[in-house]
Structure 1
Amino acid sequence: MNHRKLANQSVVEIGLGAMNLSHAYGTPPEPAAAKALLHAALDLGINHIDTAALYGFGRNEELVGETLQPFRQRFFLASKCGMTGVNGKRVIDGRPETLKQTCKEALRRLRTDVIDLYYLHRWDKKVPVEDSVGGLADLVREGHIRAIGLSEVSAQTLRKAHAVHPIAAVQSEYSLWTRNPEIGLLTVCRELGTALVAFSPLARGFLANGVPDPRDFVEKDIRRGMPRFHPPHFGRNRKLLDQFNRIAWEAGCTPAQLALAWLLAKAPFVLPIVGTTSIAHLEEDIAASKVRLSADTLATLEKLINADTVSGSRYPPETLAEIDTEETPNAG
């Protein structure tokens, strides 16, 4: 695969988000299968692994640490703080003392002395972002983390944080059907030299034809609470896929590879991370690094799937209230 810069290190341009192995989309795989996928990722050349204290309330960090500790020098390790599980409930807490304690626990779970990139998973709006970043800057000086990132923040918040300490990366949902970073964040990332790590680049499976019927989502699948997967929005969005799939066929790639190739073409500082429990899907995804799309194909995709053609908001109102990302108008 091709490489791109992340926190002054060279990593492959498509990384692995480990969340699916412990959290979010229903029953996670058995431990043996999860470990096999992590080993396969390294064997395939993936050297950017992303996790968080939130995922499985610490279990995902434990999984990554237990499985990959013997190979720690072979990959770039990213994790997150500021949103964790407390007494079985998700809590956003950006106080510096909390972030430092979370980091201490993460280092133990991950079985490492240092985390390459540590994100503030959510900006706690009760705490000035400058204070939270100041706490993370202490962790850099103490050698516990190498670089600081932010997640789900606006361009304005990125500027404020960057004034306290350089922000190496912002992690934001970015795909053909979630174009929020294009409102302002991409421009500021380019200006500041900040990478944009794009999560859910396949629209939570939608652009990979992985959502035939949302009624089949299991009880703990977080997509059950996302308006785009509810009627009437899903029916409207589903109509976009026929032409999308035809474009993929004409480009000689799969729909998943088409979505990733579009994202890689947006800017050299955009790095998607894919999440899957399937080694076959992971192999398919990283092959997108070889796909080259013509200017005409890129323009057709932009016209087909965008903020005006996608129906419904990406999160329910209560989640939108928690995050700081600029939001496009609701298309639905």
Structure 2
Amino acid sequence: MSLALALTTSAWAMNNYDVSKMSAEEAYQHGKLLRSQFKNSEAKTYLQYAADNGYPNGAYLYAMESMGNQTNPRAVENAIVYLTNAAELGSRPALRYLYRQGEWLSEAKRRKYQTQYYNSLIELGAQSPGVAYLCLSDYFYAEDKELSAYYLSKAIEFELPSAHMISAQRLESEEGSFFFASDRVAQVEQHYLQAAELGYIPAIKKYITILEQKGKYKEALTWREKALTQGDITSLVSLGAIYSGSSVRYGFVEQDLAKAKAYFELYLDNAGQDSLSDIYKQTEYNHKNIIDKITVDKELQVERIKDGLSNVDFFYNYDFLWSIN
């Protein structure tokens, strides 16, 4: 079940977030979303519920969230327990983590998890061959670059944006042979562009950086708007700053306080403060500075702009734990 679909079903349909009334999958999806909105403390309640009710990736994500608290040994020990449970339940990312980074485990145990992980990728191929190829490329990357490259090329055939992204990153690290350095750069940019055109937020952000480095700020602005429509929560802040007139690099953009206020409000309405709290506080400050400058007519525009983004399912931060394969 997709996250967007889960947001409209059963316990969620009536905005009822009582975790005890959710299925394990619903709790996982809601916890995953909360985490991506910087509401980490609240997210852990839902993720732990999903984990305790046998949802494999719920256990994995709860473990990884708890693992971040390195200053608390008991929290780390608890995370390891949930990580192990996730692996035993068949979570692919948990199996991958343990065989690669489970230094506290015996070699026999790590080999067992590695075998289980590999077998799970073969099984995945029957349902999601593109994703399976991508994971196999990662699996063989350290020991067989040629085989890894083959699997990556197969994943790209399925137009997976993450495959294009990885290909670009490998080319940037000097993999592959090119007679001219400019040809390598062109290939890198092409892969990032293809992934961006598929709506992949990490690639859109990278492509924006490439355009800005070339001084192509008008084109970069278009892609910033594209990231926003894909649900990137941090774009609300950056675009709010641009349209408020406080961005030097985008000084050519005509000030639009209605847009700026709408974007700042959407960020404050959706984001928490457990992560990136400084950005939240700065956004609050920027929002307050705009309020007195907004006329009644402008306020109506603010609401129309926000309504125009109602087709965005949710605003979130796409990090390495958002897309779990």
Task: Judge same fold: TM > 0.5, yes or no.
Answer: no
TM-score (norm 1): 0.32
The structure whose residues are more often helix, as a share, is: 2
Larger strand percent? 1
RCO greater where, 1 or 2, for CA within 8 Å and sep 6 or more? 1
Give the TM-score taking structure 2 as reference length: 0.32
